[in-house]
Amino acid sequence: MTYCVGVLLEDGVIFASDSRTNAGVDNFATFCKMTVFERVGERVIVLLSSGNLAGTQAVINVLRQGCADGGAVDDVMGARTMFDAVRVVSDAMRDVEDRDAKYLQANKVGFNASFIVGGQIGAEPMRLFRIYAEGNFIEAGADTPFFQTGETKYGKPILDRVLTNRTSLSDATKCVLVSFDSTMRSNLSVGMPIDLICYHEGSLQVTSRRRLGVGDPSFAALSAQWGEGVRQVFRRLPDLD
Amino acid sequence: MTYCVGVLLEDGVIFASDSRTNAGVDNFATFCKMTVFERVGERVIVLLSSGNLAGTQAVINVLRQGCADGGAVDDVMGARTMFDAVRVVSDAMRDVEDRDAKYLQANKVGFNASFIVGGQIGAEPMRLFRIYAEGNFIEAGADTPFFQTGETKYGKPILDRVLTNRTSLSDATKCVLVSFDSTMRSNLSVGMPIDLICYHEGSLQVTSRRRLGVGDPSFAALSAQWGEGVRQVFRRLPDLD
């Protein structure tokens, strides 16, 4: 399983992904699920991957090789808008699926790679998308400012209660990390390290990126203080009649 | 879908169930999923039902008719211990499955009734069980003091953070209701009214039972204060470096 979250705020975009992959409970591994395409002062595009690792790695490689060939409008570093960039990702997904699907189907496996893609290109506003495994996609807005993929349920209530597109980057970051903490407590197939980017609106570069590993002291403090805070809130709630 | 929670505390047992049933998003109905077998001063046994409604209603009817025939050790009102009572429920489930299964299978439907059963009989300690659709069952203890059935994921993190078997009945009740609130916000197939029983250890009768309907003012106040409390906790958490 996987857990990835993207949040589109007025002040920026938050991207977070876990790093655990597994093929059964006896076969765990660690892979980064976050990919950044960046040209400082011009564009930042962040991809969060979920689904079959062979599929998502193939898509990322197709995208990287496309860029290495040189900044055309049909690659991620050349796309004029975020919409065009997401179409490029979608096309790469369909290319990989076209190549792999019949071999996967022979073993009754589906092509299930999917992505959260967001960022900013030039003067365009920041944008955030969620691409389904079929390659079609939706875009976040003020009503629904975040997307999750993977094991989404355990960590959703806290996002629902706290996040609006006006939440500060700092509060939203803490909220996303609490959402990860809740998810990792309940599903062993979601695990550290957590890759985290807080993109600041208009910066057109990644200034705040961090990897939170097992035992990270600030994550542990956040988790402990959150748990204590929540228990205090309960103690202060009025009793039912 | 359904959401039911049973919590075994040192001071008592909490039972809570939603009331929504559905066959598709265009076919909703309201049915109580909580059944009480009570002889004041002698026993309280509470069942929370999930799964196919025809199956759970049939099981409840088999149990009630058994009791009407008169208090034998092989019915719920005559069982000597909670373990024996749960075996009676399990037997009733298997009777109904034996009768229905082949007709359900013809339409590729499985018998999926399952129950949370708890309470107290005479001098025995309070006990809490979860019966699977197959009729086998597990019992809660100090390490895992609660069981959920139905749409369990959205509401689980808050139970994990707050509940131990030493939590007070009052705090645990509020925690269970917040768990319901989180679940109902995320899954439309879980809905009001919520049936709630707080059983007090040794009382051998149901003294605190309540049905919380749509717009219930104390539930609305709890939900609002919880949301505000949580946002305050975030504002007080230290920022990440």
The mean per-residue pLDDT over the stretch A5-12 comes to: 98
Report CA Rg, chain A: 18
pLDDT of residue A234: 87
Is the separation of the CB atoms in B140 and B128 below 8 Å?
yes
The mean per-residue pLDDT over the stretch A7-32 comes to: 93
Peptide bond into B145 cis (omega under 30): no
pLDDT, chain A, mean: 94
Q: How far is CA B65 from CA B75, B103, B164, in A?
A: 9, 24, 37
Q: Write the CB contacts of A224 (distance below 8 Å, at least 6 apart in sequence).
A: none
Per-residue pLDDT of A163-208, as tens digits, reads 999 999 999 999 999 999 999 998 888 999 999 999 999 999 999 9
**Hunting for tokens 């046994």 — which residue is that?**
B45
Q: Write the CB contacts of A42 (distance below 8 Å, at least 6 apart in sequence).
A: A121, A122, A204
B143 touches chain A (CB under 8 A): no
Interface predicted TM-score (ipTM) of this complex, two decimals: 0.88
**Which residues from chain A sit within 8 angstroms of residue B218, using beta carbons?**
238, 240-241
Chain centroid to CA A91: how far?
Answer: 19
* CA within 13 Å, CB half, A13: 28
Whole-number Å distance between alpha carbons of A20 and A161: 27
B158 touches chain A (CB under 8 A): yes
To the nearest whole Å, the CA of A100 is away from the closest chain B CA by 32
Instruction: Tell me the residue type at A40.
Output: V
Please answer yes or no on whether A186 and B229 come within 8 Å at the CB atom. Answer: no
Residue A209: is its pLDDT beyond 70?
A: yes
Please answer yes or no on whether B238 and A226 come within 8 Å at the CB atom. Answer: no
Whole-number Å distance between alpha carbons of B27 and B195: 21
pLDDT of residue A172: 94
**Hunting for tokens 């001098």 — which residue is that?**
B123
Kindly state the tokens that stand for B170: 């009052």
Mutate to test the interface with B, among A14, A216, A226, A234 (most CBs of B within 10 A): A234
Cβ atoms < 10 Å from Cβ of B134 = 13
Render each residue's pLDDT in chain B as its tens digit; 241 residues.
899 999 999 999 999 999 999 888 888 899 999 999 999 999 999 999 999 999 999 999 999 999 987 767 789 999 999 999 999 999 999 999 999 999 999 988 888 899 999 999 999 999 999 999 999 999 999 999 999 999 999 999 999 999 999 999 999 999 999 999 999 998 888 999 999 999 999 999 999 999 999 999 999 999 999 999 998 898 889 888 7
Per-residue pLDDT of A24-67, as tens digits, reads 888 889 999 999 999 999 999 999 999 999 999 999 999 999 99
Kindly state the tokens that stand for A150: 């993977």
Is the separation of the CB atoms in A19 and A30 below 8 Å?
yes
Angle among Cα B163, B164, B170 to the nearest 5 degrees reads: 60
Please answer yes or no on whether A156 and B186 come within 8 Å at the CB atom. Answer: yes
* CA within 13 Å, CB half, A26: 0
Please answer yes or no on whether B162 and A230 come within 8 Å at the CB atom. Answer: yes
Kindly state the tokens that stand for A96: 């990989």
**Which residues from chain A sit within 8 angstroms of residue B232, using beta carbons?**
229, 233
Is the separation of the CB atoms in A6 and A156 below 8 Å?
no
pLDDT of residue A71: 64
pLDDT of residue B24: 82
Q: Could you tell me the CATH superfamily of domain A3-236?
A: Aminohydrolase, N-terminal nucleophile (Ntn) domain (3.60.20.10)
* CA within 13 Å, CB half, B74: 4
Q: Which residues pair with B48 in a beta bridge?
A: B34, B116
Q: Where are the alpha helices (DSSP H) in chain B?
A: 53-68, 82-106, 156-162, 169-186, 217-236
Is the separation of the CB atoms in B76 and B89 below 8 Å?
yes
Is the separation of the CB atoms in B229 and A237 below 8 Å?
yes
Per-residue pLDDT of A181-192, as tens digits, reads 999 998 888 999
Highest mean pLDDT, choosing among A100-104, A109-113, B123-127, B221-225: B123-127
Domain locations along chain B: 3-236
Confidence label for A147 from pLDDT (cuts 50, 70 and 90) = very high
